[in-house]
Amino acid sequence: MKKNILFFKKTGLVATSLVTTDVEPANASALPVKNKRIESIDLLRGIVMIIMALDHTRDYFHKVAFRYEPTDLSQTSVYIFFTRWVTHFCAPVFVFLAGIAAYLYGTRKSKKELSFFLFTRGLWLVFAEMTIVTLAWTFNPAYPLLHLQVIWAIGISMIVLSALVYMDLHYILFTGLVLVFAHNLLDQVHVPGTGGLSIFWSFLHDPGSFKIGRFTVNFRYPVLPWIGIIAIGYCFGSLYRREYNPEKRMKSLLVAGFGAIALFIILRSVNVYGDAATWSAQKNVVFSFLSFLKVTKYPPSLLYILMTLGPALIFLAFAEKPLNAVTARIAMFGRVPMFYYVAHLYLIHLFAVNAAIISGLKGSDMILSGRVNLVPGLKEYGFNLVTVYLVWIAVILILYPLCKWFDRYKRANQSKKWWLSYV
């Protein structure tokens, strides 16, 4: 135990944060140590959040985004493909780390307190997706479109996790693995029509859009696999208990990470199970490799999950070291995920309004009733990939001081203002 404590002091490990994730020492009375955060997790979350902004900048600025999917191998380029492909890591890593965060939050709470927090936090995220986040996507206060994406998926997953936490950890892990590994068995199950059963099936597994009253509800992130990811993440949170041996944690993360990558390669190679879209030989070796990597995100297939979480686990294994000047700034983004998420959407969309005006369109063209790259009036709008990257960098640079301010505010007031745990 003493060896583990010295390791944590030496490396400055601290706990994570989609929820508050300060870790209480195993023997609090004998260990009067301040609650800390696990910086390696903040760092990974910060990286995927920065990458996520690239994808959303591409949505609003890249001319290709208004004409075809960036992973359409009949039209895309290698650069366009990988600009989209690298952002595949964002959502599964974000949800997985939310599961770890939930476990660490529970180390200093009773099961009842943890369950209540996850349930209410989940409800808040669902509400935020349908109001604050949807408005950021559309700038349309009439809310003609409810675009249910990653924040919604995390919210629903947290609500389900609030019940799962009463189970033994082994059963939670089993539940998560079954959802992740078996949900592709449902790929051929479709419920046609627009009735309640069709809506419920889209909610669970089959993406779809429905007219419900005056709203168009787009179930972009069916929840079954995301529930599985957050449940597995919750179980991995146990590796970050203070009494857990750091060397053993590193070994466990490496075995799981390389195992996930190996299983991805095997299953993808045999082309039998794990993704609704099989890969095939293309016009050359490079594009055949792109076909191999082109896995399904909506809903996230087993292969998509293995491909993205495997490298993330390996990163976590090697990231437990003191932060430097660069990584400290990246980790700061990871400490304020919800603030960053909302702010970056509003900022990108505001930039897009001005870009539309510069392009000779009306600013009102960016007040949307549907997904931005499906609006007919914007088909001739857009910029090259270099411009997309420049706008993305500008977004990150502008967000940095805002997130830094909120991070300081949150740290100074976390114990005084209960609502900060929900932001």
Least confident of 217-226, 370-379, 387-396: 370-379
Q: In the predicted model, what is the mean pLDDT of residues 64-89?
A: 96
Into how many domains does the chain fold? 1
pLDDT for position 415? 82
Question: Model pTM?
Answer: 0.90
CB-based contact 190:206 (threshold 8 Å): yes
Mean pLDDT of the chain: 91
How far apart (Å, rounded) are the C-alpha atoms in residues 107 and 381? 51
Letter string b/e over residues 16-51, b meaning 16 or more CB atoms within 10 A of that residue's CB: bbbbbbbbbbeeeeeeeeeebbbbbbbbbbbbbbbb
pLDDT beyond 90 at 264: yes
pLDDT for position 36? 67
Task: For residue 357, give its domain range.
Answer: 2-422
CB-based contact 37:332 (threshold 8 Å): no
End-to-end CA gap in the chain: 34
Note the helical H segments in 107-189. Answer: 111-128, 134-138, 150-164, 169-182
pLDDT for position 421? 83
Read off the DSSP letter of residue 284: S
Q: In the predicted model, what is the mean pLDDT of residues 232-250?
A: 96
Q: Which residues have a Cβ under 8 Å from the Cβ of 160 and sit 6 or more positions away?
A: 223, 227, 230
How far apart (Å, rounded) are the C-alpha atoms in residues 39 and 378? 42
CA distances (Å), origin 250, targets 35, 95, 219, 247: 22, 21, 37, 5
Confidence of residue 423 (pLDDT cuts 50, 70, 90): confident
H or E stretch at 17: none
CB-based contact 98:154 (threshold 8 Å): yes
Q: What are phi and psi of 315, to 5 degrees?
A: -60, -45
pLDDT beyond 90 at 9: no
pLDDT for position 287? 97
